[in-house]
Amino acid sequence: MSSATAHAHDNTYGQDDTYLYHHFDDLNQQHESSSLGMWAFLATEVLFFGGVLGAFAIFQTMYAPAMRLASHHLDVMLGAVNTGVLLVSSLAMALAVRAAQLRRDRETIWLLIATIVLGSAFLGVKAYEWIHDYHLGLVPGLGFRLDLYPGRQILFWSFYFTLTGIHALHMIIGIVIMAIMAVLVWRRWFSGGGATQVEMLGLYWHFVDIVWVFLYPILYLINR
C-alpha cells in the first residue's frame, strides 16, 4: 500500500484518514471501537483464568498442608527473576506503543523485538523449571511419583501445570503477533499509521504480565 502523505484529518492516535474503514464515521469512533473491543476481550480472559484460579483457591484452603509441602519444590528465585523479566518486557511494550503513536517506525520495531526477546527469555526459564520438575517426578500423567509425594500434593501440581501452561500459551500467541506486527511496521504496511494495532497488542501483553503477577505469589510465595 502506498505511503500516506496527506495527514489532513489526523486524530490524536497517530493515524490519518487513509486508515478509516468505510463503515466508521471518523477515526475517533474507529479507535474507540478497537479499545472497547480489546477491553471486553480482556474481560473474557479474566473469567477464563478466573475459573481455574477460583478452583485453585478453594483447594488451597481445603488441603493447605499438602499444598504447602508441594509448593516448596518450586524455586522462588527463578520465579522472581522471571517476574522481573516480564515486567521489563511490559516496559518495552509500553515504549513501543508510544513510538508507534509518534510514527517512529524504527524505534517501534526495535522495541517490539526487545519485548519478544524478553518474553522468550521468560519462556526459556519456564521451560527449564518444567524440565527440572519432570526429573523430580512432579508432572501428573508423565511419571508422577506418588510414592515420593503422597496425598493431595498431586492436586497442587495439576493446577501448577495447568495455570503456567495456559499462561505460557498466551505468551506464545502474544510473541507471534508481535513478530507479525514488527514485520508489518517494517514493510510500512501501516505507513506509520499502525498505532491503534500496536496499542491493542500492548494491552494484551500487559494483561498477560498481570496474570503472572498473580500467579507468582499464589503458586510460589503464599505457602512459604
Partner 1 sequence: MSTESRADDPRSIEASDSTRGYLGADYSIKSWLLTTDHKRIALLYLASITVFFIFGGAAASLVRMELMTPRGDVFNTPDDYNRAFTIHGVFMIFFFLIPSIPAVFGNFLLPIMIGARDLAFPRLNLLSWYVYMAGGLFTMYALVSGGVDTGWTFYTPYSTMFSNTQVIAAAMGIFIVGFSSILTALNFIVTIHTMRAPGMTWLRLPLFVWAHYATSIIIVLGTPVLAITILLVAVERLFQVGIFDPAYGGDPLLFQHLFWFYSHPAVYIMILPGFGVISEIVTAFARKKIFGYTFMAGALLAIAVLGFLVWGHHMFVSSQSMYAGMIFSVLSFLVAVPSGIKVFNWTATLYKGSVSFKTPMLYALGFIGLFTIGGLTGLFLATMAVDVHVHDTYFIVAHFHYVMVGGMLMAYMGGLHFWWPKITGRLYSEFWGALSALTIFIGFNLTFFPQFILGYVGMPRRYYEYPQEYQVLNVMSTAGASILAVGYLMPLIYLPLSLVIGKVAGKNPWGAYGLEWQTSSPPSPHNFEESPIVTGGPYDYELQEFADMHRAVQEHGIV
Non-local (6+) Cβ contacts of 163 within 8 A are 49, 52, 53, 56, 215, 219
Question: Contact between 65 and partner 1 (CB under 8 A)?
Answer: no
Instruction: In angstroms, give the least distance from the CB of 29 to partner 1.
Output: 6
**Per the structure block, which three cell numbers stand in for 137?**
517426578
Give the distance, in angstroms, between the CA of residue 166 and the centroid of all CA atoms in the same chain.
10
Determine the size of the site formed for partner 1 (CB under 8 A).
36
The interface region with partner 1, picked from 51-59, 82-90, 110-118, 124-132 by CB under 8 A, is: 51-59
In angstroms, the CA 167 to CA 165 distance is: 5
User: For residues 121-160, which are near partner 1 according to CB under 8 A?
Assistant: 140-142, 151-152, 154-155, 158-159
Instruction: In angstroms, give the least distance from the CB of 54 to partner 1.
Output: 9
CA atoms within 13 A on the CB side of 187: 8
Question: Contact between 41 and partner 1 (CB under 8 A)?
Answer: yes
What phi, psi does 192 have (nearest 5°)? 80, 10
Non-local (6+) Cβ contacts of 124 within 8 A are none
The interface region with partner 1, picked from 34-42, 185-193, 203-211, 213-221 by CB under 8 A, is: 34-42
Return residues touching partner 1 (CB under 8 A): 21-25, 29, 32-33, 36-37, 40-41, 43-45, 47-52, 55, 58-59, 140-142, 151-152, 154-155, 158-159, 161-162, 166
